[in-house]
Copies of this chain bind each other. A is one copy, B any other.
Amino acid sequence: MRTRPLKVALLGCGVVGSEVARIMTTHADDLAARIGAPVELAGVAVRRPSKVREGIDPALVTTDATALVKRGDIDVVVEVIGGIEPARTLITTAFEHGASVVSANKALLAQDGAALHAAAEANGKDLYYEAAVAGAIPLIRPLRESLAGDKVNRVLGIVNGTTNFILDKMDSTGAGYQEALDEATALGYAEADPTADVEGFDAAAKAAILAGIAFHTRVRLDDVYREGMTEVTAADFASAKEMGCTIKLLAICERAKDGASVTARVHPAMIPLTHPLASVRGAYNAVFVESDASGQLMFYGPGAGGSPTASAVLGDLVAVCRNRLSGATGPGESAYAALPVSPMGDVVTRYHISLDVADKPGVLAQVATVFAEHGVSIDTVRQQGKDGEASLVVVTHRASDAALNGTVEALRKLDTVRGVASIMRVEGE
């Protein structure tokens, strides 16, 4: 074993960074044995240097992250700051000064992954980011490597623990959205400003990363259709139950049937209770991957938290260190397929639509005619009425999102339709 240590610079020492530093110290012998050389924490860049950080030598702490990544003797930069800047500039600077990078930064990877990969490649360095998607769950490596000889057709997953906690709570207790969010906040599962989670931004960034790797195609955050889950109601869960379903916020990356394009989207959807994703509880994450040869695979585990995310970071750190010792680099960006990313209108799925309608004869015929005119075939209709008001619940066969939108627009214009109470996609069948 080489005795000269590999030097690691840590950018950020919050929940994840402090766990990375802790495990690097407590498991130093194991890491050295698995890498083939010791690893040394050579510097820690933080915003508040005065904060006491147990187990970290104060002499290593600096506020000058730029100077740290420019030192030139750093082998691996671990970036756990998050956000676009200064993370982007620091990572690029690290490559230029000879370091490889391990990052947990989903927002940055989803927005600028291609440029970062290009910078890594131009400098002959590694960019690893297992921790950016679904915390501890090995997902990037299986997709990039284990399935490298297969053709992935679909990735369907619960990739945000906060929203899964909220939806699971609504499902199991009948609580409304606000009540469930309040509990998630009180328990630390939701941040004070939950926008990134509940509006689906976090899941959309992960969907972009997963779609890019799965389809060997550049997929940016802007390419991902996004709908949050703040409008999901207790009534939606009641409707889902009647269909033998529950509701999850899903990230869905699909190859079109003809193989010539892909789509990526995040939205709440009904899935059958018999689907393995339906039983993913609390803040857990799980991702289904469907491929030509392997069939259906599922990966399940804690999608966030300091320790699980640190586990993913350290797995990457070991790999990148091994690559440095052997003078090789791991798989870089694979975007050779360069498939077009289709807009949401092209997505084909099933829909569950609740309409408030006048309770009089002929309404169903009118509504059915609108669906037919837009080429959306109806699977089932359920009609409930009392006191002159009624509701119609329509479940369609597979149709394009564009056709469904046209249908809904036309339905809203009918005198007999008082309102569209909810539209929910049905997935995983």
What is the distance, in angstroms, from A322's C-beta to the closest C-beta of chain B? 7
Q: Is the CB of A317 within 8 A of B23?
A: no
If A33-B216, A34-B216, A141-B142 touch, whether A148 touches B296 (CB-CB below 8 Å) is: no
* Cα A328 to Cα B126 with chains together (Å): 14
If A145-B318, A149-B27, A149-B31 touch, whether A300 touches B301 (CB-CB below 8 Å) is: no
Q: Is the CB of B149 within 8 A of A318?
A: yes
What is the distance, in angstroms, from A76's C-beta to the closest C-beta of chain B? 12
Q: Is the CB of B315 within 8 A of A300?
A: no
Closest to A314 in B: B149
Chain B residues lying within 8 Å of A329, measured Cβ to Cβ, are 326
Q: Is the CB of B331 within 8 A of A328?
A: no
Interface residues of A (CB under 8 A from B): 19, 23, 27, 30-31, 33-34, 130, 135-138, 141-142, 145-151, 216, 276, 279, 291-302, 305, 307-308, 310-319, 322-323, 326-329, 331, 334, 336-337
* Cα A242 to Cα B138 with chains together (Å): 36
Q: Is the CB of B149 within 8 A of A317?
A: yes
Closest to A317 in B: B149
Chain B residues lying within 8 Å of A146, measured Cβ to Cβ, are 130, 138, 141-142, 312, 315
* Cα A318 to Cα B142 with chains together (Å): 13
Could you write out 26 A-B pairs with CB less than 8 Å apart?
A19-B293, A34-B148, A34-B331, A34-B336, A136-B291, A136-B293, A137-B297, A138-B142, A138-B297, A141-B145, A145-B319, A147-B311, A148-B314, A148-B318, A149-B315, A149-B317, A292-B307, A292-B311, A294-B312, A295-B301, A296-B301, A297-B299, A299-B299, A300-B300, A323-B328, A327-B327
